[in-house]
Amino acid sequence: DSTVESSAAPLLDKLVSDRIAGKLAAQDPTLWGSEAEAEAAIRLSWTTLYQTSRPLIGEIEALRTDLRSEGIDRIVLAGMGGSSLAPEVITGTENVALTVLDTTDAGQVADALAGDLDRTMLVVSSKSGTTVETDSHRRIFTEAFTEAGIDAASRIVVVTDPGSALAELGENEGYRKVFLADPNVGGRYSALTAFGLVPAGLAGADVARLLDQAAGVADALSADSADNPALRLAAALGSAHADGAEKVVLADTGSGIAGFGDWAEQLIAESTGKQGTGLLPVVVEDAGAPGFADAGQDATPVAIGELLGEATIAVAGPLGAQFLLWETAVAVAGRLLGIDPFDQPDVEAAKKAARSLLDDPGSLSETGSPSAVFGS
Ligand code: PA5
């Protein structure tokens, strides 16, 4: 419904009068209030991905067609968090098969290896290019392809940022294709970049439609109006924080978008959780809600309810629109919380710690063994 809890109302008024939505969509460097923070503007390029990612669609479709003609129709994605959650939601919503390797769980790896390798393409997806778990999965699959008499390089597609060690490796090893993404778009805002679109599109999802869906909501999200659902959601999150809440509950009351809560959870947690502050999102799956098989994603309104105690924020729209809506809301909420919603100092510290366990932490060379990660 249209109720915004009273403590959120003044925040909403302020966001509207400061014309935050329009500035965000225009990637205005004064958005964050000071010249010193102007560099944050460069990281707003996710706001127009529904346009800038268009050229990627043809590349994905061409590769998918080639792969299908070679009998390759099983896509395995090695990637984590910002490099796996979006394609998982996209393919889940469309009921398209995608095998995801996002942990070092031995059972998950064994299951992925048990599939038909003759029909398999591995997508290695890593923004930093050095995430140790993802690199371990690449090595394991390289070995498995080779043992099966398959040219491994022809079965690996890379998605990464320009200049990463993985981009270099992909070129040097002659991998099937290296997709480079905009380095200014952070992992959790990257659903509509190559990170979301390549694995999902190769698996068979309609990624052009996803961009259309985001484009369809762009005007509404850039409106400096109290009806803007992203501003309403941002004000609700901001007021929760101002009122001392540490957790917010995301209760999917029948969105028809499987797994969306996991994606939104990471977006909120990692964008707001830093400097000893933040909002911890808790996702509640409603087992009674209609699944995506019952309700077409275009037809079903998304009701994200029970947010902030009595307040209900209902946001309607298909998946592509939801990505942009929530990214916009969480970015604006970051402004209300007084933090940078685009950095992730703790994730980076954890990545460094993981790599420091390896013999050669800076390298993706083919020497060394995955056992450094999985244990021997
Ligand atoms: O959002 C994040 O920073 C993390 O979830 C990363 O996306 C995740 O660790 C994967 O990182 P990368 O894409 O660099 O391999």
Q: Please compute the mean of the pLDDT values over residues 250-279 and round it to a whole number.
A: 82
Q: What is the pTM of this model?
A: 0.88
Give the residues across from 281 on adjacent strands: 248
Q: Could you give the CA distance from residue 45 to residue 49 in angstroms, rounded to a whole number?
A: 7
Of the listed ranges 138-142, 193-197, 224-228, 282-286, the one predicted with least confidence: 282-286
- Which residues, at least 6 apart from 50, have a Cβ–Cβ distance to it below 8 Å? 192, 211, 212, 214, 215, 218, 320, 324
ipTM > 0.95 for the complex: yes
Ligand 1 centroid to Cα of residue 283, in Å, is 20
User: Looking at domain 50-209, which of 3.40.50.10490, 1.10.10.10, 3.30.1370.110, 3.60.140.10 is its CATH number?
Assistant: 3.40.50.10490
144-188 confidence digits (pLDDT tens): 999 999 999 999 999 999 999 999 999 999 999 999 999 999 999
The residue to mutate among 83, 125, 272, having the most atoms of ligand 1 within 8 angstroms of its beta carbon, is 83
106-132 confidence digits (pLDDT tens): 999 999 999 999 999 999 999 999 999
Boundaries of every domain in the chain:
8-26+222-337, 50-209
Ligand 1 centroid to Cα of residue 301, in Å, is 30
Question: Counting runs of H as helices and runs of E as strands, what totals does the chain give?
Answer: 15, 8
What residue ranges line ligand 1, CB within 6 angstroms? 80-83, 126-128, 131, 134, 187-188, 270, 344, 347
Q: At what angle do helices 194-203 and 54-69 cross, to 10 degrees?
A: 30
**Is the pLDDT reported for residue 286 higher than 50?**
yes
Average pLDDT of the chain, as a whole number: 84
> Is the Cβ–Cβ distance between 328 and 230 less than 8 Å?
yes
Task: Give the per-residue pLDDT at 294.
Answer: 63
